[in-house]
Amino acid sequence: MSQAALAEVPYVRANVADKHTVLRDVFGYETFRDSQEEVIDTLLGGTSVLAVMPTGAGKSLCFQVPALAMDGLTIVVSPLVALMQDQVSALKLNGVAADAIHSNQDREANVDAWRRVAGGETRILYMAPERLMTERMLGAIAKLPICLFAIDEAHCMSQWGPSFRPEYAALGVLSERFPDVPIAAMTATADEATRRDIEVQLFKGPHKTFVSSFDRPNITLNVAHKGSWKNQLLDYVSSRKGQSGIVYCLSRKKTEEVAELLRENGMNATAYHAGLERNERAERQNRFVTEDDLVVAATIAFGMGIDKPDVRFVFHTDLPGSIEAYYQEIGRAGRDGEPADAMMVFGAGDIRLRRQFIEQESTEDDHQRREVSRLNSLVTYAEAQGCRRQTLLNYFGETPEPCGNCDNCLNPVELKDGIAEAELVFGAIFDTGERYGQAHIIDVLRGSETEKVLKVRHDKLECHGSGAGYSKAQWQIIIRQMIAGGFLEVDVAGYSSLLITQKGNALSRGKGEFRYRADALQDAGRPSGGRTSHKDNSTFGQSQTAIDLSDRDRELLAVLKKKRLELAKERGVPAYVIFPDKTLADMAQRRPSSLDEFAQVKGIGKSKLDQFGELFLNVVQQND
């Protein structure tokens, strides 16, 4: 097809009804979830989209459905080769002509994939950004009928994002090279500054931004001061023996240590990290989605793309690198809408270690400043004296009421009046012109004569030394809790300056109160709120994946999982690619006795009906 022809008809919009046909026949679902349909309609109308949707909300369907409802090729940009492979395998099992071109395949496999793309056989092609954004590849795809670009993990292209990747920044030229092709940018974690940056870089024409609520009300949020973390972990996990969970660790070595510790104490546990051979990683993934009581000690990559709805807890043995990373990791719990727990233990050593990582990872001042700001936001959450969910969601621009489902709501901590301290902080910020970050404000308060303080003559200010009675660590606690309370905010997109909010201005005029927890950085031997007490389940709205199974149904579910694992091993794919847990749970509850009834199970499209219908019907009938 000539470039001129492409300019005239860059892609073909499908009838809106086509989206329902694709959803039902290919993916096996009758209805869309939450904001999926609105995002899909916008893309089908030819308008680009930035969609910020929480983990587990079904972002992939938002670009896969329009990709199949329109004529032409969709190119998906993904940062992780393993995730590409799994998604391509899942699409193929659904009868979709999908391919991936990446460095983990040999040249012959990549050449064969490109031949299928060039021949019009492939509908969805996955590539890493560095491979797509070469002049040679851009020239080659310009000759093809591209109908959609989808950018997964879109926050990677923003300098304000938690995982900035320079090769992602090059994606901004797509809208210039292909002005008539809509772009779907998808991410689970993007604060306001990150969203604005993505929009400016990526979209040169009309676009819409969709931001779903970040709230996961069924997850109980807990944070404890780190004492003997092994004892804290054992106390926590042993009280949940028989449940599926993830324990996140900072290093590969620690994942192995944790898994061994749990096994020695009678738990079913394994480790997962990038140092394992690919087959071993796949085997442990398969165990995770098959065994209901397996606890996986893992580094941060684990969980991406894995559809396991019944993860009952996530435990962080170390402080994550940012509040975005923390949110994404706890979001792997409780996807079935049932109560789940998130526990994090941290201490002053974690903060120091994270700061060292930031200094080692980059010598660029701007990058270091942004990452320190993100780390401080997470520490602010960890030290929050009030509702943790409020602090977490405030970061993402939401203003909820107290949740009643975090440790601070369930077991309020003792607070100290902090108005006098707050007034000193306000004075230092105001006198220095609201242009400086936390470190400089603390230096001024403590009367330090650093090179910077002397250079800007802040040693001459009346506030210099006004807070000398407190240590640097104590002022860090107070300021972070003022941020958590909404009295201060950090200008992330600027120079991480501390700004006094409207609420802070009111406090400085004597309206309101500020109270803080003075114990924030003191080590404690046991987790505060480690054994959470849930409210009645009816308090929380259950998601569409929540299914109430009888004991008899659960016995069938276990057999269905074994059959799924057998098929996954035969095909060399992760077990969840065959069927996600929610499909097997629905199958166990419905107990279909014919192919027509089997087709009504959620998540079974025509292709999977043909491939697996008889096999699973036999399992159901043999165990009925």
Provide DSSP, 387-407.
-HHHHHHHHTT--PPP-S-BH
Residue 535 lies in a domain: no
Examine the fold and report which residue of 211, 228, 244 is the final residue of a domain before the chain moves on: 211
Domain of residue 455: give its range: 416-516
User: Cα(382)–Cα(122) distance, rounded to whole angstroms?
Assistant: 47
Cβ(19)–Cβ(40) under 8 Å? yes
Q: CB-hemisphere CA count at 13 Å for 498?
A: 29
CA dihedral sign of residues 290, 34, 217, 300: positive
User: Both 207 and 287 in a single domain?
Assistant: no
pTM of the entire structure? 0.73
The amino acid that residue 150 corresponds to is A
User: Both 492 and 355 in a single domain?
Assistant: no
Give the pLDDT of residue 535.
35
User: Both 400 and 441 in a single domain?
Assistant: no
Residue 606 lies in a domain: yes
Residue 525 lies in a domain: no
Measured N-to-C along each axis, helices 36-44 and 59-69 cross at an angle, to the nearest 10 degrees, of 30
Looking at residue 303, the DSSP 8-state letter turns out to be: T
User: Cα(243)–Cα(310) distance, rounded to whole angstroms?
Assistant: 9
Per-residue pLDDT band for 112 (boundaries 50, 70, 90) equals very high
CATH number for the domain that contains residue 481: 1.10.10.10
Give the pLDDT of residue 26.
93
User: Both 224 and 190 in a single domain?
Assistant: no
Residue 448 lies in a domain: yes
User: Both 591 and 559 in a single domain?
Assistant: yes
Q: How far is CA 397 from CA 168, 213, 371, 501, in A?
A: 25, 9, 19, 14
Give the pLDDT of residue 304.
65
Tell me how far apart the terminal alpha carbons of the chain are, to the nearest angstrom.
56
CATH number for the domain that contains residue 274: 3.40.50.300
* Per-residue pLDDT tens over the stretch 329-385: 998 999 888 899 999 998 767 877 887 888 787 667 777 777 888 888 898 898 887
Q: CB count, 10 Å around CB of 446?
A: 20
Give the pLDDT of residue 165.
75
Residue 528 lies in a domain: no
CATH number for the domain that contains residue 571: 1.10.150.80
User: Both 477 and 360 in a single domain?
Assistant: no
Mean pLDDT is lowest, of 8-17, 306-315, 444-453, 551-560, for 8-17
Q: DSSP string of 94-119?
A: TT--EEEE-TTS-HHHHHHHHHHHHT
Give the pLDDT of residue 452.
93
Identify the H or E element spanning 245. strand 244-248
Is pLDDT of 529 > 60?
Answer: no
| pLDDT, averaged across the chain | 85
**What is the average pLDDT across 8-24?**
61
Give the pLDDT of residue 203.
92
User: Both 190 and 298 in a single domain?
Assistant: no
* Number of domains observed in the structure of the chain: 4
* Per-residue pLDDT tens over the stretch 405-432: 999 999 887 778 889 999 999 999 999 9
Residue 53 lies in a domain: yes
Q: CB count, 10 Å around CB of 313?
A: 25
User: Cα(195)–Cα(158) distance, rounded to whole angstroms?
Assistant: 8
Per-residue pLDDT band for 3 (boundaries 50, 70, 90) equals very low
User: Both 164 and 281 in a single domain?
Assistant: no
Q: How far is CA 544 from CA 26, 27, 191, 338, 590, in A?
A: 19, 15, 26, 11, 16
Widest Cα–Cα separation across the chain: 85
User: Both 327 and 369 in a single domain?
Assistant: yes
User: Both 19 and 126 in a single domain?
Assistant: yes
Residue 545 lies in a domain: no
The amino acid that residue 612 corresponds to is F
User: Both 205 and 233 in a single domain?
Assistant: no
Is pLDDT of 528 > 80?
Answer: no
Residue 542 lies in a domain: no
Helices (H) and strands (E) in the chain, counts: 29, 17
- For tokens 């849930």, the residue is 534
Is pLDDT of 523 > 80?
Answer: no
User: Both 43 and 152 in a single domain?
Assistant: yes
Examine the fold and report which residue of 178, 211, 244 is the final residue of a domain before the chain moves on: 211
Per-residue pLDDT band for 520 (boundaries 50, 70, 90) equals low
Examine the fold and report which residue of 410, 433, 454 is the final residue of a domain before the chain moves on: 410
